[in-house]
Amino acid sequence: MKRAYKYRFYPTETQRRELSRTFGCVRKVYNLALEVRARAWSTEGRRVSYGETSAMLAEWKKTGELSFLTEVSSVPLQQCLRHLQAAFAAFFDKRARYPRFKSRKKSRVSAEFTRSGFRYRGGRLYLAKLSEPLNIVWSRPLPENAAPSTVTVSRDSAGRWFVSILVETGVAQHPPARSAIGLDVGITSLVTLSTGEKIANPGHESRERHRLARAQRDLARKQYGSANWEKARRKVAHLHARIADRRKDHLHKVTTRLVRDNQVVVIEDLSVRAMVRNRKLARAISDAAWSQLRSMLEYKCRWYGRELVVIDRWFPSSKTCSMCGCSAANLRLNIREWTCEGCGETHDRDVNAAKNILAAGLAVSACGAGVRPQRESSRTGQPAVKQELSGVNWKEIPAPERGVVNRSSISC
């Protein structure tokens, strides 16, 4: 398994100039190759391959206008052509949008070095064209006998420098856990567990909103491109970076605990992109970072040998009773507690949803079936499963077993 370890480093002035020059050359080569490929497709209907752009790069270096490309390492330039090839492959497979030109004003820039472009010895990392090793802050050690295959150097909008080292590692197995957990994400409570526990949403952006608004007003008053404008821009970028780092740190702690303590983790397949179109909830949803939470759960479950089950987004987890399986007719978003008309049980909306998500996920894991909302019959107006269970006396079934019976509403 490949894992990337990201560290912060502090370059010298010479390294700063050389790496900045490398970033500019990478952007220039990427844009030139994209222009050539776009022109060939629009005029001739022909696709330009990576090999052709690589040959063009050799010719560009011989011209007077682009001779500066020879001053930097050729490895990041070749890598950016490979990235462009991957971007076009994703576009033609309808997995991504058409590649766009890189902007000089882009806040985050990066350059990728393969094994021929760096040297790692004795805990020191040397990049091509740089005589001194990078001053890396080793916040955590690399795996023993690790042989880095790729090194990516980047600089964010706040001016911080990072290096990401890709290494081959084995699957780190946590001790087997016998428990399973269902997760219901929200805004007030970031995650509600099927055990009834609620993890509060820290609201990192809302805490810094006043300072961020004041910094953005100061930036708007500065003359664009001036030294004071750059200082104000850097201050805004630092605030955004502070918010993002705190949010990521909290998500790492939550997801690591959930994956460590449970063998099966069940979540919903939410369409966050569509949900943020609601202008009243967009900021709160973005601050909660549900997509980032799911991404962390996915790769950590792969790392540690856990199972992640994703149920269908249309499964009515909130308005279905986790005790008897009855469904509420109308459950508005502001209703946080409701009483089931079938069994009289009072439910916390989020806890009930988490329990239903867990039951649905266990059924999917056992049967390999999808989870879809039950269709109503035109004859009775009730779901087919409710018709089959209409004669069941739920009061005669022990409470711990009601949830098990309720799983029958998910056809396998």
Judge residue 102's burial from the number of C-beta atoms within 10 Å of its C-beta, 0-12 exposed, 13-18 middle, 19 or more buried. middle
φ, ψ of residue 401 to 5 degrees: the values are -95, -5
Closest to 318 in 3D by CA, of 334, 307, 305, 304: 334
DSSP 62: T
126-to-117, 121, 137, 153, 179 alpha-carbon distances in Å: 9, 8, 15, 12, 46
Q: Please calculate the CA angle 348-353-354 and round it to the nearest 5 degrees.
A: 105
Closest to 164 in 3D by CA, of 116, 200, 110, 84: 110
Confirm whether 144 is a catalytic residue.
Answer: no
Confirm whether 268 is a catalytic residue.
Answer: yes
Q: Under 8 Å CB-to-CB from 209, ≥6 apart: which residues?
A: none
The residue annotated as part of the active site, out of 18, 184, 205, 287, is 184
- Return the SS3 of 249: helix
* Residue 71 to residue 61: CA distance in whole angstroms: 10
The residue annotated as part of the active site, out of 18, 205, 287, 350, is 350
The residue annotated as part of the active site, out of 112, 205, 268, 287, is 268
Strand order in the sheet with 109-114: 109-114, 150-155, 161-168, 2-9, 136-137
CB atoms within 10 A of CB 7: 17
- Residue 410 corresponds to which amino acid? I
* Residue 87 to residue 102: CA distance in whole angstroms: 13
Helices (H), 262-311: 272-275, 282-288, 290-303
Q: Please calculate the CA angle 194-195-198 and round it to the nearest 5 degrees.
A: 85
- 162 touches 9 (CB < 8 A): yes
Q: Please calculate the CA angle 34-273-248 and round it to the nearest 5 degrees.
A: 90
Report the catalytic residues: 184, 268, 350
